[in-house]
Chains A and B, each alone.
Chain A
Amino acid sequence: MNLLFILFFPLLAGAILLIAKPAKSFIWSLGAALIELGATGYLLTQMSESQVSQSFTHAWIPEVGISFSLLADGISGILIGLCALLVPFIIASTANTDKANNAQYQGLILTMQTALMGAFLAKDAFLFYFFFEASLLPIYFLASIYGGENRQAITFKFFIYTLFGSLFLLIGLIFVYLRTPGLIHSADMDVLYQTAHGLSAAQQGYLFLAFFIAFAIKMPIFPFHTWQPDTYTTAPTQGTMLLSGIMLKMGTYGVIRLVLPMFPLGIAAWGPAAMILSIIGVIYGSIIAIQQKDAKRLLAYSSFAHVGLISAGMLTQSIEGIQGALYQMLSHGINVVGLFFVIDLIERRTKSRELAQLGGITQASYVLSVCFVILSLGSVALPLTNGFIGEFLLLKSVFDYQMTLGIVAGITIILGAVYTLRLIQKSMFGNVSRITKDFEDLQAAEKWVLIPLCALVILGGIFPNVVLSFSEATVVQLAELIK
């Protein structure tokens, strides 16, 4: 019951906002997101105390063996937690802007949350696919209506690109599903794991490619990333937060949930190639990020670089790799939402994101620059920040898997420091520029978003075990399945 509430409450709230369009939609949507956070938090604490996963199953299309089954275990628990945690921040970040009381805007964010929650909770593979695809619609409208320059063309490209990718996932799923035993097939993930294990190495190889391309486009992994910088830059800030903070994790989650346990032989054949692509993405993304002039675009490339490392870590199939990937998904979500918010705050005040035009903000707003530094350090993976834990585990797993790859991937820490520190330096320090000389200090509502996020960055660096022990049992189980 609890799972159903968590899944459908945001949709309900979003639908009310979209249809009734109340005047004070900011309060309504923030309230709804906080209730959702409360419910999810309650569920997760219950789960971590009792060490039991929660599930719900109901017949959906019994004629073809597709069921409406949800599961919150150690892996999906982290992702629904992330989703429930970030959405209130995303909504709160609209405070004091023209979007705060735009019912359509808030409604779309909440509807999006249901789609994301659904993808993370689904235990039936087609249910997963259903939400995976459905999540494209709200973000499409968000970005196309409220985005920046040339938004329609860019968002449309993003939509078609990701949709095309996920269609490969669909045929791959159907292929395995048709081989499940019984007169009426089943799309339950456990059954699919078993069935996929029985497939030949060649079949697993093709299926791995079909699945991985779909998720690689979503994450994105080099060379499927061409939609990403434009879309992140053009989308409205909250849209970018949703995309990079949560939606990207559907791709990585899909790899952990479907690819790893289903196609061990496929990974044996194609995994190294996929890993090399991921590592190329890490380096390539970082190098391009160093040269960016637009702060938002810089963050887009940095997000691309981070996700490459997550992908490489997962593909090692080791417990550390998967745990690290999960932890890094969580920290990356928190950091990137914070960083995009900082850029948005700067843009609101100066109407510019050009690094060359900024500078000296630290003199005008001390809190903003401290928060920015903390979030950036989290992103650089400095010890005692949340980024360190995830990145350390990921690099260790890659290192254990293959030394050379590990060393190459290790460069990411240096490159990451270069572009992040450059971002801080150009925007926060240095001389006050023409447009930053009248920089207003932060308002209370803005502090309420930034300071908790910074606190999470540090808490995540000091108490990683809360999360790691939560997911450990499930990850160990998954690793057993892979062997």
Chain B
Amino acid sequence: MTAIIALSLFGISNLFLGFWFSRKVLQSLTLVFLAIGMGLTAADWNHELLWFGHMFRTTNTSINFSLLIQLAAFLVVAFSRGFGNDDEHTHPAEYYALMLFSVVGAIMMVSFDHMIMLFVGLEILSVAMYVLTGSDKRSLRANEASLKYFLMGAFATGILLFGITLVYGATHSFYISNIGTIIASTAPESTPNFLFIGVLLMTVGLLFKVSAAPFHFWTADVYEGAPSIFTMFMSTVVKTAGFAALYHIVGDVFGGMYSTWVITIYFISMLTLIVGNVTAVYQQSVKRMLAYSSISHAGYMLMTVSAHQASSTSTILYYSFAYILATATAFAVFILVSDYQTGRKEKPENFQAFEGLAKNNPGLAFCFTVSLLSLAGIPLTGGFWGKFFVFSDTFSRNMTYPVILAIMMSAVGVYYYFKGIIAAYFRDGDIEKIEIPSLYKIALWATTLGTLLLGVYPSLVKNMF
């Protein structure tokens, strides 16, 4: 918990350090800050404690999620190069600070014990993200993305707040531990109807953040418009935080009302799978494809949420971990290639930009392939076991149709992920050797090998959760 105080202070100090230090120094400092944050988070291991007037609870689950979030942020920072092409108009100190702030928000979202804490965490996370999305202020698309994200996000937050209000009205409490006991002790007949509406609205608010269909319309445009490095941040950190919060709410707090919310989540997960995967097939831009892929992965994770098994938390953790590593790798390669192709090709973000990558950059092509295989859920990669655990959880609940649908959609997924592999290996192109900074290279190989390690020895992580 001390981590959120420390990270906030680090964020503020980052703002001032920006006066004296260059981007490179700030980057290293931010990495150190995040490492300290992870250390402080891990120090609370096995100490279940309440903080801030019982509004914030550290449990091992929340610590796991916090660590994962900080790890994701760590990777994003490690992969950050120049922001935009000329440094005059960019403000690295602010960007790093905002990332740290949103990490603080994310940690609050995974450890809240009070509805207001959830709301505050969500807002800290989101407001920072609205700014970062529009940080490339001369790009029209980034501006559009930022505005879109803000409007939709504000709307979703409103829905979440409304839900919180209704739940408060029904249970007279903001504390989720109290809410759980009150719901459990009230006879189903005497539960006010607006409690159900409240739960539904809260779920919707969070489903927006994890970009589940039909609340996904912002995703592709925002992911595409935002600077790629912040897209990486959005699809890893924000997504994980959103899922942790969602599962905390529906699984732990409203677990007793399983039969009420499960139908909603059940259908939304299937819809999300279909929408995400089928739309991804038609994308020409790798970035948009990754956006829809992130929607489809939300669908898989929602399957676990709807199954609500004892192992669901660990499945979500494992899935997020594998997903974070693979997505970070894919985006890292994407950033290198699209930066390289900017000015050389008309559309540097399309699959065509990757053609011939393997010829002079075998390492990059390999990393890209591993990450796409993992996202597609092919064995030898972490993504396979992620899917395996999801299917296994869902099957334990005897939910056969979602699993069959998910399997068909996995096959569809292979189709669009392999477009990247095919472009990199089997098409001719003229990509020269791309220069990669050493830190970037280390991080890239770390995530790639991590994905493979998760694939051949999943136990390494699975027994940590």
Chain A interface residues (CB < 8 Å from chain B): 59-64, 126, 129-131, 133-134, 136-137, 141, 144-145, 151-152, 156, 159-160, 163-164, 167-168, 170-171, 174-175, 177-178
> Binding site of A, secondary structure by majority: helix, strand, loop or mixed?
helix
- Residues of B contacting A163 with CB < 8 Å? 378, 411, 414
Contacts of B22 in A (CB 8 A): none
Chain B nearest CB from A186 CB (Å) reads 13
Could you say which residues of chain A place their CB within 8 Å of the CB of B459?
59-63
Q: Complex: how many Å from CA A166 to CA B389?
A: 17
Q: Which of B295-303, B323-331, B418-426 contacts A (4 or more CB under 8 A)?
A: B418-426
Task: Point out the residues of chain A lying under 8 angstroms from B407, CB to CB.
Answer: 164, 167-168, 170-171
> Within 8 Å of chain A (Cβ to Cβ): is B410?
yes
Q: Among residues 381 to 422 in chain B, which have CB atoms less than 8 Å away from a CB atom of chain A?
A: 384-385, 388-389, 391-392, 395-396, 403-404, 407-408, 410-411, 414-415, 418, 422
B414→A160 contact, CB < 8 A: yes
User: Known contacts being A160-B415, A167-B407, is A133 close to B395, with CB within 8 Å?
Assistant: no
* Residue of A whose beta carbon sits closest to that of B389: A64
Closest A residue, CB atoms, query B391? A174
> Within the complex, what minimum Cβ distance (angstroms) separates B382 from chain A?
12
Q: What's the minimum C-beta distance from B106 to chain A, rounded to whole angstroms?
A: 26
Which residues from chain B contact A151 at a C-beta distance below 8 Å?
A: 426
Show 26 A/B contacts (Cβ-Cβ < 8 Å), sorted by A.
A60-B457, A61-B459, A61-B462, A63-B459, A64-B389, A64-B392, A129-B379, A131-B379, A137-B378, A137-B380, A145-B425, A145-B426, A152-B426, A156-B418, A163-B414, A164-B407, A164-B408, A167-B410, A170-B388, A170-B391, A170-B407, A171-B391, A171-B395, A171-B404, A178-B395, A178-B396
A134/B411 in contact, CB under 8 A? no
In the assembled complex, the CB of A203 is this many whole angstroms from the nearest CB of chain B, namely 11
Complex alpha-carbon distance, A175 and B397, angstroms: 11
> B4 → chain A, closest Cβ, in Å?
30
B84 at the A interface (CB under 8 A): no
Q: In whole angstroms, what is the CA distance A133 to B422 when docked?
A: 19
Bound-complex Cα distance A136 to B384 (A): 14
Whether, in the assembled complex, B463 has its beta carbon less than 8 Å from a beta carbon of chain A, the answer is: yes
Report which of B385, B403, B422, B457 forms a contact with A171, defined as CB distance below 8 A: B403
**Residue pair A144, B425 in contact (C-beta under 8 Å):** yes
Residue B458, interface by CB 8 Å: yes
- Which single residue of chain A is at the shortest CB-CB distance from B465? A63
Look across to chain A and name the residue whose beta carbon is closest to the beta carbon of B407: A167
Q: Nearest Cβ distance between residue A165 and chain B, in whole angstroms?
A: 9
Q: Which residue of B lies closest to A144 (CB)?
A: B426
Complex CA distance for A469 and B458, rounded to whole angstroms:
40
Bound-complex Cα distance A129 to B385 (A): 12
List residues of B whose CB falls within 8 A of some A CB.
373, 378-380, 384-385, 388-389, 391-392, 395-396, 403-404, 407-408, 410-411, 414-415, 418, 422, 425-426, 457-459, 462-463
Distance in Å from the Cβ of A177 to the closest Cβ of chain B? 8
Are B411's CB and A152's CB within 8 A?
A: no
Q: How far is the CA of A144 from the CA of B424 in the complex (A)?
A: 12
Q: Which residue of B lies closest to A164 (CB)?
A: B411
Q: From B380, B408, B457, B458, give the contact of A134 (CB < 8 A).
A: B380
* A156 near B391: Cβ-Cβ < 8 Å: no
In Å, the complex CA distance between A63 and B458 comes to 10
Residues of A within 8 A of B422 (CB): 144, 152, 156
**How distant is the Cα of A66 from the Cα of B395 in the complex, in angstroms?**
17
Q: Is the CB of A63 within 8 A of B410?
A: no
Given A64-B392, A134-B380, A171-B395, A159:B462 Cβ within 8 A: no
**Which of A59, A63, A144 lies at the interface centre, i.e. has the most chain B CB atoms within 10 A of its CB?**
A63
CA distance A126 to B389 in the complex (A): 12
A136, closest chain B residue (CB) = B378
Q: Name the 3 nearest CB pairs between A and B, nearest first.
A: A164-B411, A167-B407, A133-B379
Partner of B411, one of A63, A144, A160: A160
Whole-angstrom distance from the CB of B384 to the nearest CB of chain A? 8
Cβ distance B405 to chain A, nearest Cβ, rounded Å: 11
Whether B458 lies near A174 (C-beta < 8 A) is no
Q: How far is the CB of A85 from chain B (nearest CB, A)?
A: 26
Residues of B within 8 A of A152 (CB): 422, 426
B contact residues around A171 at 8 Å (CB): 391, 395, 403-404, 407
> How far is the CB of B402 from the nearest CB of chain A, in Å?
11
Chain A nearest CB from B410 CB (Å) reads 6
Question: How far, in Å, is A146 (CB) from chain B's closest CB?
Answer: 11
Residue in contact with A63 in the complex, picked from B373, B379, B396, B462, CB distance below 8 Å: B462
6 extra interchain contacts, Cβ-Cβ under 8 A, other than A61-B458, A126-B388? A60-B457, A62-B463, A63-B463, A134-B380, A151-B426, A159-B418
In the bound complex, residues from chain A placing their C-beta under 8 Å from that of B418 are 156, 159
| Complex contacts, A129 vs chain B, CB 8 Å | 379
**In the docked arrangement, what's the CA distance between A24 and B122, Å?**
60
In the bound complex, residues from chain B placing their C-beta under 8 Å from that of A156 are 418, 422
A227 to chain B, nearest CB (A): 13
Q: Which of the residues A64, A141, A160 comes within 8 Å of B425, measured between beta carbons?
A: A141
Pick from A61, A133, A177 the residue with the most CB of B within 10 Å: A61
Partner of A133, one of B378, B392, B458: B378
